[in-house]
């Protein structure tokens, strides 16, 4: 058998794939990283990163040592022993699973892969995905568990989280006992703890369950925020009091809506799969409906606070500054960010909008929004004073909130960033 040149091949060098590649490089493994974005590959080859949570010095070091090869050539995967797939699994416009990235990639892989390799999927999807896309085809070509191996190991990366990724327990599964063994032996080198589960489907459902759990609880606390707001009760003080209970309670916090690549998406993957089995997911759908309602609820509350009336919304040329475009603080990821919907609503209702985000110079175009004409401004004293209101949507640490508070006329805080209460700070 031809000797493999690289130990690891990673397809998709995004928020999961690139950190995973560097994890392996740190342990001395050779990694071939594949991505279809040629601009991304060119940056990586010069040691530059497009992610806020990746150390560029590490990239430069690993490229210099020839431990890391960024490439757009799928044929390079012929020389790789283990192939890890870290691709996005978004939704269609009808909120159905979109597995096109994975399917197109596997179509390219079919004529490249060879005996002795492991394919491990890390992308989040509904239970049965690994079997339907990979196993059904590969078991007709190989003796799975003997001369080819299939695994699913869900990613648990959390961009911006101040936690060593190696310390996050890694779930691993395999099509057969040998597949599981090979996957476990791979991941145990880079994670402090690898946890075996009995099937591909259990591992797939574990990831979905983790994220739906969060989505449902966030939906509940967002509904509580609406109720508390109507009763003039401080939601955050309620949560702070409740979390003193040492059992039977876990604090979740409200916000302007859900964003990111997991929590807004995964409930739809589970609901879609359940519907195929003739089951209804009423609880999940209700929480999703509440979470999706938050941006418009915030717009309505802003309108009422400014104009003291509830008639048809029209901001009549009022000037708003949006603080934060990312879906969570301290990262440069705007996927599914509620900030985009809030800006879109403000513009539709005749407001003038600018933004500030330390991680963005312009608002990226997405499948739902094209807000590239909304300009970024600097947070100078004179600039802040020009706006009728500031809306804190993402609570980045790299913002001088004292300066914002001192020079603003009114602040709508959707993240409880400004802890002290003031007449010009409205908690939403």
Which of 178, 206, 234 represents a domain boundary (last residue)? 206
Residues 153 and 274 in one domain: no
Per residue in 62-102, pLDDT (tens digit) is 999 999 999 999 999 999 999 999 999 998 888 899 999 99
Per the domain annotation, does 15 fall within a domain? yes
**Two tokens at 259?**
């964003």
Residues 343 and 286 in one domain: yes
Place of tokens 């003039």: 232
Residues 51 and 178 in one domain: yes
Per the domain annotation, does 218 fall within a domain? no
- DSSP 8-state class, residue 143: -
Q: Which residues are catalytic?
A: 262
Residues 248 and 200 in one domain: no
User: Does position 164 have pLDDT exceeding 90, yes or no?
Assistant: no
Per the domain annotation, does 378 fall within a domain? yes
**Two tokens at 428?**
């939403």
Name the strand (E) or helix (H) holding 82.
strand 80-85
Per the domain annotation, does 81 fall within a domain? yes
Residues 198 and 295 in one domain: no
> Does pTM top 0.85 for this prediction?
yes
Residues 252 and 179 in one domain: no
Q: Do β-strands 149-152 and 170-174 pair in parallel, antiparallel, or remain unpaired?
A: antiparallel
- DSSP 8-state class, residue 319: E
Which residue range is the domain that position 199 belongs to? 6-206
**Rg of the chain over CA atoms, in angstroms?**
24
Per the domain annotation, does 328 fall within a domain? yes
Residues 252 and 157 in one domain: no
Residues 396 and 274 in one domain: yes
User: Does position 21 have pLDDT exceeding 50, yes or no?
Assistant: yes
Residues 249 and 199 in one domain: no
Per the domain annotation, does 99 fall within a domain? yes
**350-377: average pLDDT:** 93
| 321 contacts 377 by C-beta, under 8 angstroms | yes
- pLDDT at res. 184: 97
Residues 149 and 256 in one domain: no
User: Does position 22 have pLDDT exceeding 50, yes or no?
Assistant: yes
Q: Report the C-alpha gap between 96 and 117 in whole angstroms.
A: 32
Write down the mean pLDDT value for the chain.
93
- pLDDT at res. 159: 73
Residues 184 and 278 in one domain: no
- pLDDT at res. 1: 47
Per the domain annotation, does 311 fall within a domain? yes
Which of 206, 235, 267 represents a domain boundary (last residue)? 206
User: Does position 342 have pLDDT exceeding 80, yes or no?
Assistant: yes
The sign of the dihedral angle between the CA atoms of 119, 124, 125, 128 is positive
Per residue in 265-316, pLDDT (tens digit) is 888 999 999 999 999 999 899 999 999 999 999 999 999 999 887 778 999 9
CATH code of the domain covering residue 249: 3.40.50.720
Q: Report the C-alpha gap between 310 and 307 in whole angstroms.
A: 8
Helix axis angle for 282-307 and 338-348, nearest 10°, is 50
**How many domains are contained in the chain?**
2
Per the domain annotation, does 119 fall within a domain? yes
Residues 264 and 119 in one domain: no
């Amino acid at each position: 058998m031809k000797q493999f040149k690289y130990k690891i091949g990673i397809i998709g060098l995004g928020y999961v794939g690139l950190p995973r590649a560097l994890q392996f490089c740190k342990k001395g493994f050779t990694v071939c990283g594949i991505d279809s974005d040629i601009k991304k590959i060119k940056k990586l080859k010069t040691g530059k990163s497009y992610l806020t949570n990746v150390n560029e010095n590490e990239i430069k070091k690993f490229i210099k040592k020839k431990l890391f090869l960024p490439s757009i050539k799928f044929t390079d995967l012929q020389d790789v022993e283990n192939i890890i797939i870290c691709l996005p699994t978004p939704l269609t416009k009808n909120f159905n699973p979109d597995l096109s990235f994975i399917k197109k990639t596997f179509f390219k892989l079919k004529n490249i892969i060879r005996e002795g390799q492991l394919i491990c999927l890390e992308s989040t999807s509904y239970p049965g995905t690994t079997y339907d896309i990979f196993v059904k085809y590969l078991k007709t070509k190989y003796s799975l568990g003997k001369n080819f191996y299939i695994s699913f190991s869900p990613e648990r990366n959390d961009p911006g989280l101040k936690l060593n990724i190696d310390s996050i327990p890694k779930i691993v599964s395999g099509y057969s006992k040998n597949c599981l063994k090979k996957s476990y032996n791979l991941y145990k080198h880079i994670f402090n703890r690898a946890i075996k589960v009995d099937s591909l489907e259990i591992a797939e459902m574990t990831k979905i369950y983790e994220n739906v759990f969060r989505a449902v609880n966030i939906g509940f606390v967002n509904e509580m925020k609406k109720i508390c707001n109507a009763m003039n009760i401080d939601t955050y003080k309620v949560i702070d009091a409740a979390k003193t209970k040492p059992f039977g309670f876990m604090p979740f916090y409200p916000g302007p809506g859900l964003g990111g690549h997991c929590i807004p998406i995964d409930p739809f993957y589970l609901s879609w799969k359940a519907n195929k089995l003739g089951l209804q997911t009423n609880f999940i759908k209700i929480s999703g409906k509440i979470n999706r309602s938050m941006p418009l609820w915030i717009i309505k509350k802003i309108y009422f606070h400014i104009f003291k009336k509830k008639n048809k919304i029209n901001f009549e040329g009022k000037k708003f500054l949006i603080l934060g475009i990312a879906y969570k603080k301290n990262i440069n990821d705007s996927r599914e960010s509620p900030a985009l919907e809030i800006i879109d609503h403000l513009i539709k209702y005749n407001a003038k909008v600018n933004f500030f985000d330390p991680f963005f110079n312009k608002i990226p175009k997405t499948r739902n929004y094209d807000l590239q004409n909304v300009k970024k401004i600097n947070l100078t004293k004179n600039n802040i004073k020009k706006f009728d209101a500031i809306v804190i949507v993402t609570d980045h640490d790299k913002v001088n909130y004292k300066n914002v508070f001192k020079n603003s006329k009114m602040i709508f805080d959707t993240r409880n960033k400004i802890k002290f209460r003031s007449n010009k700070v409205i908690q939403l």
